[in-house]
């Protein structure tokens, strides 16, 4: 089997997605890379989602589309459960939300960028998105996060890209699936943390590959714009960020045997920072471990967050 015929397992979590899921399924069927199967894990839909999936399964065949019952424990466990339970023997895996629209080159582009790294190194691909409103009208691109390069010193404190853009190889899947037994905040942030922490390669594509629909019911919405930033800052100051980090750090500590030695040291450094109040100590440790967020204002907020013990 040549590189361009590697099998991709598309992993879709569904829950009451009848309004938009047809368009998403059609966009997956329209990919210019044809070697894929789709598993949909439904977390208890009460609308027409399961009926729509059954219709596409009849059209595509059960070998192309499989529908399973989700764990009923929220979106993160549903997606991580898909990664954990996969038995397809696929070479690559791609998460898919139920309400987006994939651009036709999404899978093919991702594979071209990650395949050269081979199969022995964990590799995670992610990309920008094109934001749309509920009706699909273009609202612009998600923030560009190409520099500094992705890495654990960023992942430990900040997510990078949406799971709806992510494609990863089997080595990365084996790591990501280990998070199912814990409670990381989200499957995309967890994937970035564990793959980079284990010394894997994170490939960030500055090109958009997904039309990311914003409709008011998104579990995790777009980060675009000043209001989105202020909303995140307000939640963080109310201790929301610290509670989220508690969950992520618990999972990372439990699996720290998979982290490289320098990244274990970085994790311990961040944990020690959370108890510091002296600005000079905080500045010294942030510099020592190269902990960074992706803009000057975000970095300044990180300093303040550590000083106020809100991170």
Q: State residue 216's pLDDT score.
A: 60
Query: Domain 3-213 falls in which CATH fold?
Result: Spore Coat Polysaccharide Biosynthesis Protein SpsA; Chain A (3.90.550)
SS3 14: strand
- Residue-level pLDDT, tens digit, the chain, 311 residues: 345 689 999 999 999 999 999 999 999 999 999 999 999 999 999 999 999 999 999 999 999 999 999 999 999 999 999 999 877 789 999 999 999 999 999 999 999 999 999 999 999 999 999 999 987 788 899 999 988 899 999 999 999 999 999 999 999 999 999 999 998 999 999 999 999 999 999 999 999 999 999 866 545 554 555 555 555 556 555 658 899 999 999 999 999 999 999 999 999 999 999 999 999 999 999 999 999 998 899 999 999 999 999 99
d(CA 250, CA 254): 6
- For residue 2, what pLDDT is reported? 44
Distances (CA, A) of 90 to 149, 170, 180, 296: 28, 8, 20, 41
- Tell me the backbone φ, ψ of residue 68, rounded to 5 degrees: -125, 165
Helix (H) or strand (E) holding 173: helix 170-176
Tell me the C-alpha distance between 47 and 268, whole Å. 46
- pTM for the model: 0.92
Nearest-angstrom CA–CA distance, 14 and 78: 9
pLDDT of residue 293: 94
Residue ranges per domain, the chain? 3-213, 225-307
pLDDT at 135: 78
């Amino acid at each position: 089997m040549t590189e361009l015929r590697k099998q991709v397992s598309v992993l879709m979590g569904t829950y009451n997605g009848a309004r938009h899921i047809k368009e998403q399924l059609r966009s997956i069927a329209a990919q210019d890379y044809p070697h894929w199967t789709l598993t949909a894990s439904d977390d208890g839909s009460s609308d027409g989602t399961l009926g729509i999936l059954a219709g596409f399964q009849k059209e595509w065949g059960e070998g192309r589309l499989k529908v399973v019952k989700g764990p009923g424990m929220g979106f993160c466990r549903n997606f991580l459960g898909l990664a954990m339970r996969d038995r397809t023997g696929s070479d690559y895996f791609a998460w898919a939300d139920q309400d987006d629209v994939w651009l036709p080159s999404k899978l093919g582009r991702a594979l071209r960028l990650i395949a050269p790294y081979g199969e022995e190194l964990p590799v995670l691909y992610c990309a920008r998105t094109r934001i749309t409103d509920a009706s699909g009208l273009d609202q612009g691109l998600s923030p560009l996060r190409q520099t500094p390069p992705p890495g654990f010193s960023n992942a430990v404190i900040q997510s990078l890209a949406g799971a709806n853009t992510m494609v990863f190889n089997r080595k990365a899947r084996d790591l990501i699936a280990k998070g199912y037994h814990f409670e990381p905040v989200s499957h995309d942030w967890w994937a970035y943390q564990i793959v980079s922490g284990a010394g894997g390669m994170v490939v960030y594509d500055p090109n958009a590959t997904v039309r990311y629909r914003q409709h008011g019911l998104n579990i995790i919405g777009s980060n675009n714009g000043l209001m989105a930033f202020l909303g995140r800052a307000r939640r963080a100051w109310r201790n929301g960020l610290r509670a989220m980090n508690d969950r992520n750090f618990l999972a990372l500590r439990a699996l720290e045997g998979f982290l490289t030695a320098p990244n274990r040291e970085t994790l311990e450094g961040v944990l020690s920072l959370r108890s510091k109040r002296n600005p000079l100590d905080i500045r010294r440790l942030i510099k020592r471990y190269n902990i960074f967020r992706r803009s000057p204002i975000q970095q300044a907020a990180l300093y303040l967050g550590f000083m106020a013990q809100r991170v």
